[in-house]
A = this chain, B = another copy of it.
Amino acid sequence: MKTSSPARGGSRSRRRAGRVIGRRIPRLGTRGQPEESRASILRAAVAEFAEHGIAGARTDAIARAAHVNKALLYYYFKDKDALYEAVLDHVFGGLRARVMPVFESNMAPRQKMLEYVGAYFDYIAANPRFPRVVQAEWMRAGEGSARMQRVAKEYFRPIFGKLSEVLREGIDAREFRAVNPMDFAPSLVGIIILYFSAAPLMKTLMKVDPLSEERIRERRAFVLEFVSAALFR
């Protein structure tokens, strides 16, 4: 058959059953670091889901990348779907943790908004694979999959709620232009996220590496300026 997927594989992993000539490799597991094994699987799953999407992801590939036996995936996670769900919690949980504190502080709306955008950007910039995982999620079925419902309630609603508050304050204080949160929020997310998920494409279009440190700094500045100009009076 030999369909679509470009036959990834290779590097059959030189490691042979946990022991290496001179030194002991701290073989994952075996009372070693169960936490670390789980984390390793999760890391690998993020990468795999990001590159190949939810259906294209191969559990074998995840296990291999995590240097772990496939059976261990099913020791820690019920099935592929549960693993994906764990990935979502990891990604969005991290975002929420990074971003919510900003809303708790007592800055002026302007400042608060800038901090929020900056924090959001930094989180994504530090994990440029995340947008692809995310998009794999909201690419899903027309109506809300049960999974999406949960993710929306647990992560998006609180952030969206707080963001709406800030907007309200800013608008009432005549500092912000009057925008509908339902318009502003997805626009912001789009600006931040798409740059990263389109990075591979941009790389082929320009000569610059869109993910170089310098470029990212520039991009960050642009996003803040752009949003400021668009929102602030």
| Contacting residues of chain A (199-223) with chain B, CB-CB under 8 angstroms | 200-206, 208, 210, 218-219, 222-223
| A135 CB-CB contact with B under 8 Å | yes
Known A-B contacts A3-B81, A190-B190, A218-B180; the reply to A198 vs B138 at CB < 8 A is: yes
Q: Give a binary string over A97-136; 1 marks a CB under 8 Å from any B CB, 0 the rest.
A: 0000000000000000000000000000000000010011
Q: A195 to B187, Cβ gap below 8 A?
A: yes
Please tell me if A80 contacts chain B, counting CB pairs below 8 Å. yes
Q: Which residue of the partner chain, among B152, B179, B189, contacts A194 with CB atoms under 8 Å?
A: B189
A52 at the interface (CB under 8 A from B): yes
Query: Which bucket holds chain A's interface residue count?
Result: 35 or more
Please name the residue on chain B nearest to A58 by beta carbon. Answer: B55
Which of A5, A192, A195 has the most CB atoms of chain B within a 10 A radius of its CB?
A195
Q: How far is the CA of A205 from the CA of B156 in the complex (A)?
A: 8
Tell me if A165 counts as interface (CB < 8 A to partner B).
Answer: no
Closest chain-B Cβ to A86's Cβ sits at a distance in Å of 14
Stoichiometry, as copies per complex, reads 2
Closest partner residue, chain B, to A206 (CB atom): B182
Which interface residue of A3, A194, A201 has the most chain B CB atoms within 10 A? Answer: A194
A80-92 CB mask vs B (1 if < 8 Å, else 0) is 1100100000000
CB pairs A–B below 8 angstroms (28 shown): A3-B81, A4-B54, A4-B55, A5-B55, A6-B141, A51-B142, A53-B56, A53-B136, A55-B55, A55-B56, A138-B197, A138-B200, A140-B200, A148-B200, A148-B201, A148-B204, A152-B204, A157-B205, A183-B218, A183-B222, A187-B191, A187-B195, A189-B190, A189-B194, A190-B190, A190-B194, A227-B230, A229-B229
